[in-house]
Homo-oligomer: A and B are copies of this chain.
Amino acid sequence: MGSTRDPDRRDRILDAASAVFAEKGFAGARVDDIADRAGVNKAMLYYHVGDKTALYSAVLLRNFERVRVALDEALATGGSARARLEAVITALTRMVQRHPDHPRMMLREIASGATSLEPEVLAAMLEVVGVVRALIAEGTAAGEFRAIDPVLTHLTLVGAVVFLNATAPIRNRAAALGPGFSLPEPTTDIARFIKEMLLDGLAADRKPGGS
């Protein structure tokens, strides 16, 4: 039976937890803080979701599901592998900007070696990785992309999207320190940059033989 008082209390709890975990990390997050932001008594977190680790896993699972849905939509646009890859980059960029909590949490997970990531969450992540990997492999097979490692390519892509967006606060702080460093880019600019960079490379003259 759902709550008689507030049916989506669990969602509000997960929202608050996502924000706090992203901001402070697992160890830095205070359960009382999460409860306060969610506007509920702390014991309710334990009643509705579970302990701190269960809360953490629940947040990651929900957030990965969001990404998976967004990627499925991007792939559904059809077209060439390149066109779909561009759609994926756009979707990822929009996702990262609309729900910045998720990449922030994952950055910390990567830093810690994902030692505490539950198998369930790991599986959700691999599902997302698989989508992009398959797309790149398909593009390579179709002759659209160079023969290139699909997993490393996927990581470079995600790394670029996450880095360019997640470093925005640090760049703003840098801009405040010294002049001529600021880079307040609009959403579309970052996505466009990544597409150009990854697809066409940095070199002005492309060497065809340079496998």
Q: Which residues of A contact B (CB under 8 A)?
A: 22-28, 82, 104-105, 107-115, 117, 119, 122-123, 125-126, 129, 143-146, 148-149, 151-153, 155-156, 158-160, 162-164, 166-167, 169-171, 173-174, 177-178, 181, 183, 185, 190, 193-194, 196-204, 206-207, 210-211
Copies in the complex: 2
User: How distant is A196 from chain B, measured CB to nearest CB, in Å?
Assistant: 6
When C-beta atoms are compared, the residue in chain B nearest to A192 turns out to be B211
Tell me whether chain A's interface is mostly helix, strand or loop, or mixed.
helix
Check B197 against A148 for contact (C-beta < 8 Å).
Answer: yes
> Residue A199 contacts which of B123, B153, B202 (CB distance < 8 angstroms)?
B202
Check A203 against B156 for contact (C-beta < 8 Å).
Answer: no
**A22: which B residues are within 8 A, CB to CB?**
111
Check A177 against B123 for contact (C-beta < 8 Å).
Answer: yes
Check B193 against A149 for contact (C-beta < 8 Å).
Answer: yes
When C-beta atoms are compared, the residue in chain B nearest to A129 turns out to be B174
Check B202 against A207 for contact (C-beta < 8 Å).
Answer: no
Check B204 against A210 for contact (C-beta < 8 Å).
Answer: no
Q: Known contacts being A111-B107, A117-B170, is A155 close to B164, with CB within 8 Å?
A: yes
Check A108 against B156 for contact (C-beta < 8 Å).
Answer: no
User: How distant is A132 from chain B, measured CB to nearest CB, in Å?
Assistant: 12
Given A25-B28, A117-B170, A143-B204; 18 other pairs, CB 8 A cutoff? A24-B27, A111-B166, A113-B170, A114-B173, A126-B177, A145-B202, A145-B204, A148-B193, A152-B185, A152-B193, A156-B164, A162-B163, A163-B163, A197-B201, A199-B210, A200-B201, A201-B202, A201-B206
When C-beta atoms are compared, the residue in chain B nearest to A169 turns out to be B113
A169 to B112, CA, bound (A): 9
**A123: which B residues are within 8 A, CB to CB?**
177
Among A22, A185, A204: residue with most chain B CB under 10 A: A204
When C-beta atoms are compared, the residue in chain B nearest to A108 turns out to be B111
A59 to B110, CA, bound (A): 20
Top 10 nearest A-B pairs by Cβ distance?
A: A201-B201, A159-B163, A27-B28, A113-B169, A107-B111, A114-B170, A159-B159, A27-B27, A206-B206, A104-B111
